[in-house]
Amino acid sequence: MSAVVVENIIKTYGKKKEVTALNNISFEVKPGELYGIIGPDGAGKTSLFRILTTLLLADSGKATVDGFDVVKDYKEIRKRVGYMPGKFSLYPDLSVEENLNFFATIFNTTVHGNYDLIKDIYQQIEPFKNRRAGKLSGGMKQKLALSCALIHRPSVLFLDEPTTGVDAVSRKEFWEMLKRLKEQGITILVSTPYMDEAGLCDKVALIQTGKILSINTPHGIVDDFKKPLWAVKSANMLHLLNQLKEKEEVEDIYPFGEYHHLILKSQLSKESLEQWIRNSTTENVQLQMVRPDIEDCFISLMKNY
């Protein structure tokens, strides 16, 4: 049985349903999978998570979590899932320890009973257990929220943008925590606007303005990028970009870290490409073929080439 099944979910907002947040979304998450919903703000990630955690009703379509229907069996689902919203939602006036005890009690369990699951994470904030949750730093709030979402040992964990606004070091640490949780057999659905986090998931759905662009393993998504991708670099990158952008043969060119990534409409050998570049720009260009990453794939799916 799949941990999460989503079938043709549509969600609109507004009196005249003028805003479509989710436009016929379907996917499936297997038990124990670390599943990434990757997309920018406004893609529909939060609406999707709220539907699956039974906090919002879809206009149409069907979804189950742990085999239970999100509409009919909402009470059962609420017992079984952990949910960490994007916005900090613990009690700011309760201490770290009080928040954790509160959530354990609500779910008819004790902190002691499931301590092994959260130990790794909670120990990092335990020195501050008497501090009010509202007075914690961003990183510590995040660790407390995760501990509270886990304290009843959920079978499926929903994490809505846990790493947004978090620096590169803390992001890496957070993903290491997720990997260890996955080893405990918990199914994890995590959403993120950071494309580079896709590679850390077992499977990902790329989502944009309510539509799924692609579902695959991170490797599979990259393998689907069929056109050769070239990285180009010169002394004046802006100049290089502007000159090549105008050329008929260019499908797309965009900045990518220290290089520009270049995609041509038709395939050229490296030699003929070098020749073409010499004729196309006054810049002295370094050129190499590179493997696309998820962000290249996302751009190509968005622009549909």
Partner 1 sequence: MSNDKVITAEQLTKRFGHFTAVDHISFDVHKGEIFGFLGANGAGKTTAMRMLCGLSMPTSGKATVAGFDVYKETEKIKRNIGYMSQKFSLYDDLTVKENMKFYGGIYGMSDKFIKEKTGYILNHLHLESEGDKLVKSLPLGWKQKLAFSVAIFHEPGIVFLDEPTGGVDPVTRREFWNMIYQASDNGITIFVTTHYMDEAEYCNRVSIMVDGRIDALDTPAQLKKTYEAKSMDEVFLKLARKATRIEI
Q: Which residues bind partner 1 (CB under 8 A)?
A: 39-43, 128, 137-140, 164-172, 193-195, 208-209, 238, 254-258, 295, 298-299, 302-303
Please identify, using beta-carbon distances, which residue of 1 and 238 lies nearer to partner 1. 238
Length reported for the chain: 305
Please identify, using beta-carbon distances, which residue of 128 and 276 lies nearer to partner 1. 128
Judge whether 213 and 298 are in contact, CB under 8 Å: yes
* Half-sphere exposure in the Cβ direction for 217 (13 Å, CA): 6
The pair of structure tokens assigned to 283 is 């810049």
Q: How far is the CB of 225 from partner 1 (least distance, A)?
A: 14
Please identify, using beta-carbon distances, which residue of 59 and 167 lies nearer to partner 1. 167
Q: How far is the CB of 299 from partner 1 (least distance, A)?
A: 5
HEC sequence for the chain = CCCEEEEEEEEEECCCCCEEEEEEEEEEECCCCEEEEECCCCCCHHHHHHHHCCCCCCCEEEEEECCEECCCCHHHHHHHEEEECCCCCCCCCCEHHHHHHHHHHHCCCCCCCCHHHHHHHHCCCHHHCCCEHHHCCHHHHHHHHHHHHHCCCCCEEEEECCCCCCCHHHHHHHHHHHHHHHHCCCEEEEEECCHHHHHHCCEEEEEECCEEEEEECHHHHHHCCCCCCEEEECCCHHHHHHHHHCCCCEEEEEEECCEEEEEECCCCCHHHHHHHHHHHCCCCCEEEECCCCHHHHHHHHHHCC
Q: How far is the CB of 254 from partner 1 (least distance, A)?
A: 5
Please identify, using beta-carbon distances, which residue of 41 and 183 lies nearer to partner 1. 41
Q: How far is the CB of 125 from partner 1 (least distance, A)?
A: 11
Q: How far is the CB of 134 from partner 1 (least distance, A)?
A: 14
Q: How far is the CB of 266 from partner 1 (least distance, A)?
A: 23
Please identify, using beta-carbon distances, which residue of 208 and 214 lies nearer to partner 1. 208
Q: How far is the CB of 193 from partner 1 (least distance, A)?
A: 4
Give the sign of the dihedral formed by CA 35, CA 300, CA 86, CA 22: negative
Please identify, using beta-carbon distances, which residue of 68 and 174 lies nearer to partner 1. 174
Please identify, using beta-carbon distances, which residue of 258 and 271 lies nearer to partner 1. 258
Q: How far is the CB of 109 from partner 1 (least distance, A)?
A: 30
Please identify, using beta-carbon distances, which residue of 93 and 167 lies nearer to partner 1. 167
